[in-house]
Structure 1
Amino acid sequence: MNWEQALKDYGHYLRIERGLSANSLENYSLDVKKLILFLDSHDIKQSPLTITAEIVQQFVYEIAKDVNARSQARILSGLRGFFNYLIFEDYRKDNPMELIESPKIGRKLPDTLSQEDIDHLIAAIDLSTPEGERNRAMVETLYSCGLRVSELTALKISDLFFEEGFIKVTGKGDKQRFVPIAPVTQKLINIYRKEIRVHIKAQKGHEDILFLNRRGKQLTRAMIFTIIKRLAETTGLKKNISPHTFRHSFATHLLQNGADLRAIQQMLGHESITTTEVYMHVDRSQLAEIVHKYHPRNPEKQ
């Protein structure tokens, strides 16, 4: 088995057996392709079935010169998954990544915006243009529903259940969930639909997509990033923000206001509660206040 065939088979496995999205498939493939490029550039003739731990270690030393610890850890994790697949299919008996340690990295806490920051960003949107009404509805949806950028761009008109107060979101691995949507967000989406989108001729295959560009096609992830960056520049916001910042802020503000962590997990579409627990950092002082106010050992409670 050569690298091309192994990578192709691995892609089929990830898509069919694991149900991963196209973006996830691309990321996993890139990790393996980095190793293949290293082998080619050093004229190392080893197949996926014969490559040794020593060769992989050389690759690790090489990438350590160019990427940070977090990126290294992600690449190594991707390679472990690839070789575990080969073991699972009985192509190999061992994983050459087994004795290779990932670099130690701290857990990165998500950046967040205050409610005031978000209000300023939305208020800065130029509503004199058709794109302005669309952008206001998109930013409000990102924040009020805690969506990933890919979930926002893929949102369909048929996913809107406003009478019930929900939208249907298709997340990672094509897993679907229902997320509550606030009346104010519904209002802004309806304004965009009735005043702007109705005049856009949707291209074939994009008729049901909610947010369209001027040519009637689904917006790209890159376009959403650009819109957010320009808003930050317009308002003079010094924080380095992205569409994901609104998702982080959604979860953080819910937690600060007393929402249950399990409920936040469901709304974010996290498979594991551990992923959601990163938001527990947001306000340690608030946790201390809760203990001070409610714990029976507090002198004020006695």
Structure 2
Amino acid sequence: MVSNGIHQYDQKVEEQFLNFEFDGRKGRKLFKQEQFLANGTRKLTEFQNTGQIKVPNLPLKKAPFIFKGALGEAIVSFLDYKHVEERLSTIRLHCYKRCLFLFLEYCNENKIHIVRDIDLAVLLHYINTINCGKTLIVPVLSTLRCFLKYLFEQKLLAIDYSRRIPRYRIIDQPKLPSTYSKEEIEKLIVSIDRSSPIGKRNYAIILLAARLGLRASDISRLKFANLHWDTSTIEIEQVKTGKELILPLLPDVGNAIIDYLKYGRAKSEEACVFLSERSPYSNFASSNVVTHIVQRAYKKAGINTEGRRFGPHSLRHSLGFRMLEESTVLPVISEVLGHKSTESTRYYLRIDLKSMQQCMLEVPSVSPDFYLQKGGVFYD
């Protein structure tokens, strides 16, 4: 509002602000943090119009799990045993109830009402019908395994089917990092207006992320003590890893910081280099400030960000990707990005298509005689 000379807040200002922040994106197209900002802004408008903020209606209390029949009695007996013998927490006990209630519903639908009717075929068919997310399938199978072991130990089942329940292992591949080409990064840097104090500050911040790959948390907490002009280095203890990191203070980065300190930074005794643009000119409350600075710069530069994240980490990822393209070895990239080990840096190998193409093997040609062997009968 200050930047645009707006003195009175209303719903029109809300719409203009959200369009500016999210470039017209709405609903599910917003990241979680963006949705939080959008909801907060709408609540501000709601408070201005009504003088209060409505508390959303709480969901109705779910009906309790009721275990009926002989099989239900066996489940209740199992739950009592776990509660008394293992002193399960209320949350854990509720998880057991929920998982076994699903199994009981399946059994009732398939006319399986007593324990001795349970066999391996029933169990495997039930597992194939489980329709839940991969994070829920693990506790469902684990609970079923415990229940079957209990039934065997209590001599209610003649066979220990708990050993036959398959194990489900969740292996998540991390998402591919969002990267931008060298031309896009240069377009972003050049687009920053350095005629104002804010522009000088933002220019230095974006250079630190793009040229040196610093995280937003490290940029927001950068102190004068970290700048070693005599050796032209930046020496920090990384917020995320606690690992010490020494990087060269590149000429354009150093000049951008000097330009900000001389002509952009307000007079302050703060130990941090970068300050807010308005009084009382304090240091950044969180790394989110750096994130918003970079995101706004992407939008103003007119760079296509569809399907890609466009925060400070995208600048860091792009630097790592370019180094990989230039055949920089992993230990060097790991050292520059401040990773604890090269295992974190291997994350970038999956997007190095140029190197992958170099590993392709030609498929050898096959002699026509191969297809005609034995009269070609094998291939009819």
Deviations 1:145-185 (A, max 9, x none): 11111011111111012332321122124332212232111
Matched, 1:247 2:312: no
- The 2-side partners of 1:112 and 1:136 are apart by 20
Checking the alignment, whether the CA contact within 8 Å between 1:113 and 1:246 is kept in structure 2 is yes
Q: Pick from 300, 303, 318: which aligns with 1:237?
A: 303
Matched, 1:174 2:242: yes
Matched, 1:162 2:229: yes
Checking the alignment, whether the CA contact within 8 Å between 1:166 and 1:178 is kept in structure 2 is yes
- The 2-side partners of 1:175 and 1:256 are apart by 26
Q: Corresponding residue for 1:36?
A: none
Matched, 1:228 2:291: no
Q: Pick from 246, 251, 258: which aligns with 1:190?
A: 258
AA aligned opposite 1:229: Q
Deviations 1:105-124 (A, max 9, x none): 33311111111111111122
- The 2-side partners of 1:232 and 1:194 are apart by 26
Q: Pick from 208, 212, 234: which aligns with 2:271?
A: 208
Matched, 1:132 2:203: no
Offset, 1:258: 2.1
Judged with a 3 Å threshold, the aligned counterparts in structure 2 of structure 1 residues 278 and 50 are, in CA distance, closer, same or farther, namely same
Name the TM-score, length of structure 1 as normaliser: 0.61
Q: Corresponding residue for 1:270?
A: 339
- The 2-side partners of 1:119 and 1:59 are apart by 54
Checking the alignment, whether the CA contact within 8 Å between 1:124 and 1:234 is kept in structure 2 is yes
- The 2-side partners of 1:120 and 1:56 are apart by 52
Q: Corresponding residue for 2:218?
A: 151
Name the TM-score, length of structure 2 as normaliser: 0.49
Checking the alignment, whether the CA contact within 8 Å between 1:209 and 1:218 is kept in structure 2 is yes
Judged with a 3 Å threshold, the aligned counterparts in structure 2 of structure 1 residues 231 and 102 are, in CA distance, closer, same or farther, namely farther
Structure 1: gaps (5+ residues) = 1-40, 61-67, 77-98, 293-302
Q: Secondary structure at the match of 1:174?
A: coil
Aligned length: 215
Matched, 1:217 2:250: no
- The 2-side partners of 1:281 and 1:233 are apart by 27
The worse-fitting range, judged by mean Cα deviation, of 151-160 and 263-272 is 263-272
Checking the alignment, whether the CA contact within 8 Å between 1:144 and 1:181 is kept in structure 2 is no
Deviations 1:64-118 (A, max 9, x none): xxxx97xx69xx9xxxxxxxxxxxxxxxxxxxxxx99664433311111111111
Judged with a 3 Å threshold, the aligned counterparts in structure 2 of structure 1 residues 163 and 260 are, in CA distance, closer, same or farther, namely farther
Q: Corresponding residue for 1:17?
A: none
Offset, 1:253: 1.1
Offset, 1:193: 1.3
Give aligned-pair identity as a percent: 26
Alpha-carbon RMSD: 3.6
- The 2-side partners of 1:145 and 1:221 are apart by 17
Q: Corresponding residue for 2:348?
A: 279
Bigger RCO of structures 1 and 2 (CA < 8 A, at least 6 apart): 1
AA aligned opposite 2:211: S
Judged with a 3 Å threshold, the aligned counterparts in structure 2 of structure 1 residues 167 and 103 are, in CA distance, closer, same or farther, namely same
Q: Secondary structure at the match of 1:118?
A: helix
Q: Corresponding residue for 1:119?
A: 186
Judged with a 3 Å threshold, the aligned counterparts in structure 2 of structure 1 residues 218 and 283 are, in CA distance, closer, same or farther, namely same
Q: Corresponding residue for 1:258?
A: 327
AA aligned opposite 2:258: N
Judged with a 3 Å threshold, the aligned counterparts in structure 2 of structure 1 residues 246 and 42 are, in CA distance, closer, same or farther, namely farther
